[in-house]
Structure 1
Amino acid sequence: MKILYIRRKTRYEKRHSVKMGELTTKVTYIKKYLLGLPVKTLHKYRRTYYGEVKSCDDCMLFV
């Protein structure tokens, strides 16, 4: 087992955008792990229908 590694994981989330309203999209998290425990989220992004990559900072998490 590696001591320090980076893993990318994708999951569906409901997000809310000002322009589009509620949308369900795939959000990819890139996290740094130390001995199997998550230490830090390095980057979080989502891919649009047209293949464009956008940061998740412009839309809020919808609960």
Structure 2
Amino acid sequence: MKLIQVERVTKQENRFAPKMGRLNAKVTYIKKKFLGITVKTLHKYRETYYGEVKDCEDCVLAK
């Protein structure tokens, strides 16, 4: 068993983009785990309607 692991998980989430409004996007989280417990989220990004990959910092979570 490894002590430190890096895991990638993809989930469907509701997001809000100022230009498009509410959208349902696939959000991928890259997480660092220590003994199976999540320690830190290293990066998260989403796939747009057109297939582009964007950082989640551009979209606002709640409006």
- TM-score normalised by length of structure 2: 0.91
List gaps (5 residues or longer) in structure 2.
Answer: none
Matching residue of 1:24: 24
The residue aligned with 1:9 is 9
1:45 maps to what in 2? Answer: 45
- Alignment partners' CA distance in 2, 1:17 and 1:52: 14
Gap regions ≥5 residues in structure 1: none
SS of 1:60's partner is: coil
State the 4+ residue runs in structure 1 displaced beyond 6 angstroms.
none
SS at match of 1:57: helix
Cα root mean square deviation, aligned = 1.3
The number of equivalent residue pairs is: 63
If the length of structure 1 is used for normalisation, what is the TM-score? 0.91
Aligned-residue identity in percent: 60
- 1:28, distance to aligned residue in structure 2 (A): 0.1
Tell me the distance in 2 between the aligned counterparts of 1:48 and 1:13: 12
Q: Tell me the residue number matched to 1:57.
A: 57
